[in-house]
């Protein structure tokens, strides 16, 4: 439920053209599912973001910081609060020598492309990752043997007390798909990365090779949130799911991809409940068959009790 008083304030900060009420989250997640958010806000710079967060805290409004929605499942009921999207507006990228500085809303793929154009190597692995830099820092995103901790130099965050601080990457507790950011309540505003000088042709060739591998092995033609589960130590989630006989297993419009069992895809008309039920079924079957408990890589937002 929205309140005109809150909408008026949000519009005073962002402008009326970047404030929405009852916005369907299916428009903003790569799963293409999700009900409406009470408020959907698109700040244009860190100062606007800080004002929005402070207002939400002062007025008891729940809020969620959204990037490109590439690792998120929003419930069919939507979100009772404010979704604050950094993607699109807070997305500046600048290059200084072998270092790249970018805002949290910049797409990782765009940062990788600009690095390649500047003959900088180290971000080739990120060329096909659909998320934003902010999300990549939060979860230490990675692929094909590379991950953010290999290139991160600093991360600039908004602390729960409202301070803007820049923290060395060595203090971010970066591990497999994890960092200290969620636990400390930080909001990523931007980051600096240290790359190395390289050969532009070789960098592009590597990125093209990785892109071809993705297209060959992953179901990129269907909505999904990428790898649905974290890699269990000593195993591959996709192989466990396949060996459990779940290739193509469906709940409603949600399906374990027939092309890559590590992906849950939206075959058309899937609901968030379909996806959540399928994930639960897959976890239960794999644990029953192999004694391995899969942990979702996807984040859940909203009420999934029903």
Give the active site residue among 91, 179, 224, 227.
227
With 0-12 / 13-18 / 19 or more C-beta atoms within 10 angstroms meaning exposed / middle / buried, residue 212 is exposed
289 counts as catalytic: no
Give the active site residue among 23, 124, 147, 297.
297
Q: Which residues pair with 187 in a beta bridge?
A: 158
Name the one residue in this structure whose structure tokens are 């965050």: 157
Give the active site residue among 88, 177, 211, 267.
177
297 counts as catalytic: yes
Joined together, the tokens standing for residue 5 give 């008083």
177 counts as catalytic: yes
Give CA–CA dist 239/273, Å, rounded: 24
Half-sphere exposure of 50 (CA within 13 A, CB side): 12
224-227, strands of its sheet edge to edge: 224-227, 263-266, 254-256, 250-251
Neighbour count for residue 27 (Cβ, 10 Å): 12
Active site amino acids: 177, 227, 297
């Amino acid at each position: 439920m929205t309140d005109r008083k809150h909408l008026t304030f949000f519009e005073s900060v962002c402008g009326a053209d970047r404030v929405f009420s009852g916005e369907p989250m299916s428009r903003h997640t790569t799963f293409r599912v999700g009900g409406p958010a009470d408020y959907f806000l698109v700040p244009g710079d860190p100062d606007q973001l800080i004002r929005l967060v402070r207002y939400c805290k002062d007025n008891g409004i729940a809020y969620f910081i959204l990037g490109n929605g590439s690792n998120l499942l929003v419930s069919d009921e939507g979100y009772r609060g404010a979704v604050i999207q950094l993607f699109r507006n807070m997305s500046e990228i600048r290059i200084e020598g072998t270092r790249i500085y970018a805002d949290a809303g910049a797409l990782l793929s765009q940062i990788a492309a600009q690095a390649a154009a500047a003959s900088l190597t180290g971000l080739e692995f990120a060329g096909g990752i659909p998320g934003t830099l902010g999300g990549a820092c939060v979860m230490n995103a990675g692929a094909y043997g590379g991950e953010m901790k290999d290139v991160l130099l600093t991360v600039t965050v908004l602390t729960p007390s409202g301070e803007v601080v820049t923290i060395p990457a060595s203090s971010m507790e970066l591990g497999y798909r994890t960092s200290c950011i969620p636990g400390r309540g930080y909001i990523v505003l931007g980051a600096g990365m240290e790359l190395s000088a390289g050969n532009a042709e070789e960098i592009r060739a590597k990125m093209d090779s990785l892109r071809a591998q993705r297209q060959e092995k992953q179901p990129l033609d269907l909505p999904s949130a990428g790898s649905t589960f974290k890699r269990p130590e000593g195993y591959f989630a996709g192989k466990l799911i396949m060996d459990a006989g779940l290739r193509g297993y469906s709940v409603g419009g949600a399906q374990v991809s027939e092309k890559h069992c590590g992906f849950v895809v939206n075959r058309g008309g899937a609901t968030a409940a379909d996806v959540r039920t399928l994930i639960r079924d897959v976890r239960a079957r794999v644990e029953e068959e192999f004694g391995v408990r899969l942990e979702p890589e996807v984040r859940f937002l909203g009420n999934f009790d029903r």
